[in-house]
């Protein structure tokens, strides 16, 4: 699974540093944002390796850091843009999130089903795009290199990627390895736009691809940690895995409230 896709899982599910410094290299121009984004693809396996993958299943744990809440997480993905993720939290219940490529939805034991609309739907469908790192030009209209900034003790290129719809994402790529180490953005949710910071780490090789196995997200004073235990590529996934649940379909079929 790509760093870009997995790093946004928590936000799509919930709808929800160290000190750093910035410098401009006066004697050496920054590489273009497009070049940095493409180097990330090469650093994580290359275009050919990505194109050999058509489905993906990963399993791991999801933790609300500092809250004593932890549970199993499983995510299914298939090209071109289908996803289904289930998280089972102890003492809270099940949280599900998915899209069949058209309807983006989420539901939980606490809040019931909900269909994502507007900018939130656009963000969910964009993040569901399979092999997004390779196809980033179809999803983003611009990638601008804006400086060099430290993430921890690693100097990183700072790239602002502007999607076709929605708010820009700021990405931090390690100058030495070209790996993505951090992302920040404003993401749509039922509460409005929320600031999100995501740390990406523990890259491991498998099937010719290099994928992160730890995703640490901070938003609105809360911290969520995903730890990936296993990834299976080109797994057989039942077609109905991505079907929209019946109670979500019922919401979609309800007529819109009359305007006052």
Cis status, amide bond into 80, omega within 30 of 0:
yes
Residues in the chain: 260
Residues with Cβ within 8 Å of 88's Cβ and at least 6 positions away in sequence, in order, are 71, 72, 73, 94, 95
Buried b / exposed e along 200-239 (16+ C-beta atoms within 10 A): bbebeeeeebbbbbbbbbbbeeeebbbebeebebeeebee
Q: What is the mean pLDDT of the chain?
A: 89
Residues with Cβ within 8 Å of 5's Cβ and at least 6 positions away in sequence, in order, are 77, 127, 132
Cα–Cα dist 166/42, whole Å: 27
pTM, two decimals, is: 0.85
Half-sphere exposure of 246 (CA within 13 A, CB side): 0
Instruction: Give residue 27's pLDDT.
Output: 52
Alpha helices (runs of H) in 86-232, residue ranges in sequence order: 118-128, 136-139
Confidence band of 10 (pLDDT split at 50, 70, 90) = very low
Burial class (CB in 10 A: 0-12, 13-18, 19+), 80: exposed
> Model confidence over 121-152: pLDDT tens digits?
988 998 999 999 999 999 999 999 999 999 99
Confidence band of 23 (pLDDT split at 50, 70, 90) = very low
Per the model's pLDDT, the better-predicted residue between 211 and 24 turns out to be 211
**What are the two backbone dihedrals, phi and then psi, of residue 37, each rounded to the nearest 5 degrees?**
-60, -40
Cα–Cα dist 233/56, whole Å: 5
Cα–Cα dist 199/184, whole Å: 9
> Model confidence over 51-109: pLDDT tens digits?
999 999 999 999 999 999 999 999 999 999 999 999 999 889 999 999 999 999 999 98
Mean pLDDT of the 187-195 span:
87
Burial class (CB in 10 A: 0-12, 13-18, 19+), 40: buried
Q: What's the start-to-end Cα distance of the chain, in Å? A: 46
Confidence band of 2 (pLDDT split at 50, 70, 90) = low
Instruction: Give residue 188's pLDDT.
Output: 84
> Model confidence over 31-67: pLDDT tens digits?
999 999 999 999 999 999 999 999 999 999 999 999 9
Task: At 46, list the tokens.
Answer: 């290359």
List of domains in the chain: 3-16+19-253 (2.50.20.10)
Instruction: Give residue 255's pLDDT.
Output: 61
């Amino acid at each position: 699974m790509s760093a870009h896709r997995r790093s946004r899982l928590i936000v799509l599910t919930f709808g929800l540093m160290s000190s750093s410094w910035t410098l401009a290299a006066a004697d050496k121009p920054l590489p273009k944002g497009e070049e940095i984004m493409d180097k990330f693809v090469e650093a994580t396996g290359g275009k050919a390796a990505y194109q050999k993958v058509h489905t993906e299943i990963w399993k791991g744990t999801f933790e609300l850091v500092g809250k004593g809440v932890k549970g199993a997480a499983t995510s299914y993905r298939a090209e071109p843009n289908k996803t289904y993720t289930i998280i089972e939290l102890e003492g809270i219940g099940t949280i599900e999130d998915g899209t069949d490529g058209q309807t983006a939805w989420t539901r939980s034991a606490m809040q019931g089903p909900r269909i994502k609309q507007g900018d939130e739907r656009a963000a969910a469908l964009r993040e569901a795009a399979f092999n997004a790192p390779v196809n980033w030009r179809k999803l983003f209209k611009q990638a601008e290199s804006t400086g060099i900034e430290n993430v921890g003790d690693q100097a990183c290129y700072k790239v602002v990627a502007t999607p076709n719809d929605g708010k820009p994402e700021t990405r931090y790529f390690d100058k030495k390895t070209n790996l993505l180490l951090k992302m920040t953005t404003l993401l749509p949710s039922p509460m409005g736009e929320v600031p999100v910071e995501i740390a990406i780490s523990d890259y491991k090789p498998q099937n010719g691809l290099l994928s992160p196995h730890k995703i640490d997200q901070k938003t609105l004073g809360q911290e969520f940690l995903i730890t990936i235990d296993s990834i299976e590529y080109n797994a057989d996934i039942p077609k109905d895995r991505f079907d929209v649940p019946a109670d979500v379909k019922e919401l979609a079929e309800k007529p819109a409230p009359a305007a006052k």
